[in-house]
Copies of this chain bind each other. A is one copy, B any other.
Amino acid sequence: MLGHELAMALRAAYLAMHRRTDNSLAKSGITADQFVVLAALTEGIALTQSELVCRTSSDPNTLRAMLIILEGQRLIERRPHPTDRRARSVSLTRRGRSVFRRAWRRSEGVRKHLLAELTTAEAASMAGQLRRLASVVAKGRAEPVKSSHRTAVGTTS
């Protein structure tokens, strides 16, 4: 039951944050998920799409669709990768950088609320725990069963 409570609390917190962010960014013309992509692009001069997939916790097909939208709005550019001709190098345009800055300001309130009831230490600890949690949950997905006893499907609890 604790696991389920944690899962539901995680859901509640994420959905609340996501909605609030979407609302605060409405005037910027971008969604919360697009904001995440732009944010990832500000830390790192030029990233490939698969790097972006990792940093945004997205998947290749979804990210591509988002990049097409962002490209249509002239917020990002995609150029051929200098050394790897399979890859594409994604970067913010000046307009993208400007829109992101405004969006960042508009979403300040959300981050403020996130930190409102936590001490700095608690928030940092929580971020760390959530990251570990994410990596544990994500692991064991694409692995094609190496040893043997991976999906002990019928285990009770």
The answer to whether A11 has its CB under 8 Å from any CB of chain B is: yes
Contact call B154/A16, Cβ cutoff below 8 A: no
Contact call A105/B10, Cβ cutoff below 8 A: no
The answer to whether A8 has its CB under 8 Å from any CB of chain B is: yes
Chain A: interface residue total (CB-CB under 8 A): 63
Contact call B106/A6, Cβ cutoff below 8 A: no
Secondary structure of the A side of the interface?
A: helix
Contact call A12/B131, Cβ cutoff below 8 A: yes
Contact call B4/A39, Cβ cutoff below 8 A: yes
Contact call B13/A10, Cβ cutoff below 8 A: yes
Complex CA–CA separation, A153 to B128 (angstroms): 30
The chain B residue sitting closest to A3, CB to CB, is: B111
Q: Can you report 25 residue pairs joining A to B where beta carbons are below 8 Å apart?
A: A2-B115, A2-B127, A5-B127, A6-B111, A6-B123, A6-B127, A6-B130, A7-B111, A8-B36, A9-B126, A9-B127, A9-B128, A12-B57, A13-B131, A15-B58, A15-B134, A16-B137, A16-B138, A19-B141, A105-B155, A105-B156, A113-B133, A113-B137, A116-B136, A122-B129
